[in-house]
Structures are given as C-alpha cells and as structure tokens.
Amino acid sequence: MTITSLAGVAGIGFVLLAIVVNVLYVRAGLPQPTSGRSLDAVTDALAGAGRRIKAPSVFAPVTWLFTTLFAAGLLAALWRGQGAGNAWALVGFAGVLMQNATFMVVESLRFGAAEAARHQPGSVAGLWAFGNVLFGFNQVFLAIAVLGFTAAGVSLAFIPAWHAWLGWISAALLFVSSMAAPYNADHTNRIAVTGLLGWLGWAAWIVVYSIALMGI
C-alpha cells in the first residue's frame, strides 16, 4: 500500500473514530466545554465521569496517528517540484502537527479536572477554564491545516472547486470560533454553532480528500 492510499484510509478512519469517541464521552457524562453548565454541575459531572472516560481516551493516540498519516500522505501528493503549492502544503502539515500537540494537552486536562473534582473540588474552576480556552484556541490549528492543504490543492488543480470552497468556509468558521476562546472561560460559548459547523465541514473535507488520495 502506498503512502497516499494509507493516508486516505487513515483520514476516513480518523473521522469515524472521532465520532465514536465523542459519542462515548457524551454517554460517559463528560461535560462539554461550551455546555454553559454551572461550575457546581460541571464538578459533579466530572466527578461522576472520572473513571468512565478512561476507556474512550485509549483511542486518542490512534486519532493522532491517523491525522499525522493523513497529513503526511497529503504532503507527499502535493509536494511537486518548486512553487507555492509546496509552501502551502507545509502550512497545512504544520497545522495538523500543532493540532495534535495541543489536543493532547486538552485530553490530559480532562483527566486532571476529573481527579480534582473527586479529591480537590476547589481547583476545578482553574483547570476547567484552562481546558475550555485551550479547546477553543485549538481550532485555529484546524483552520491552518485546512487553509494550507486547500490552497495547495487549488494551486495544483488537485481538488475541484466545490471541495476548495468547503475548505475555505470551514477554515473561516473555525478561525472565527477560535477568536472567541477567551470568552469561553465561563463555560459558555455564544457562537458554539460556528465551531461545530466548522468541525463538521472539516470532517467532510477530510473524507473527500481521503477518497482523492486513495484514487491516486
């Protein structure tokens, strides 16, 4: 199997696994960063979900492996001689690496907040606010990844116009949502739907790009 075919499989695998893991988190009772729940309610939910979030989180490293393979395959497909396409592909690859590193911290903070809720409830406020804001800021790296790989694909005529527009719009929504991150420390997000739509667009963008990679 070539690197591009493997990247295509990894991209689709990531999207499916991300959906499954998020469903499991919700079923485990893990409070969402933009739920708007009170600190007391969040603390109680974290204390109750502490042990149940371990099993879904086992798959977190797999998602980061999949996204890295996907990005590496895209870089291999879009790296053609000299030109702007190369630079944009590097921008996209850098965005994926930064997203993985940042979300590793977000995942770890969930465990820290859950343990604090069980043993030291007074420290939950700081950890929860930290995680919420970082979760929001992380969307800028998704936007950078989509922006870079979309621009590279367009410059090389590798993707159709509708796929490019899906990328542009998703990147814009994610970037706008990331700018609101400082206002999410109080557990609310008045433009949460913007980030959700951006994430869904990003997931669809990955699936379409993955199919293109598998066809090379």
Q: What is the mean pLDDT of residues 74-96?
A: 86
> pLDDT higher for 193 or 198?
198
pLDDT at site 84: 64
pLDDT at site 20: 93
Rounded to whole angstroms, the Cα distance separating 54 from 47 reads 13
- pLDDT digit string, tens, across residues 22-65: 898 888 888 887 777 788 888 888 888 767 888 888 999 999 99
Q: How confident is the model at residue 82 (pLDDT cuts 50, 70, 90)?
A: low
- pLDDT digit string, tens, across residues 151-190: 999 998 899 999 999 999 999 999 999 998 888 777 677 7
DSSP SS3 for 188: coil
User: Are the C-beta atoms of 216 and 24 separated by less than 8 Å?
Assistant: no
Percentage of the chain beyond pLDDT 70 is 95
Q: In sequence order, what are the residues at sequence separation of 6 or more whose Cβ sits closer than 8 angstroms to the Cβ of residue 19? A: 203
Rounded to whole angstroms, the Cα distance separating 144 from 171 reads 7
pLDDT at site 56: 86
Q: What is the mean pLDDT of residues 191-208?
A: 93
Q: In sequence order, what are the residues at sequence separation of 6 or more whose Cβ sits closer than 8 angstroms to the Cβ of residue 110? A: 30, 53, 57, 131
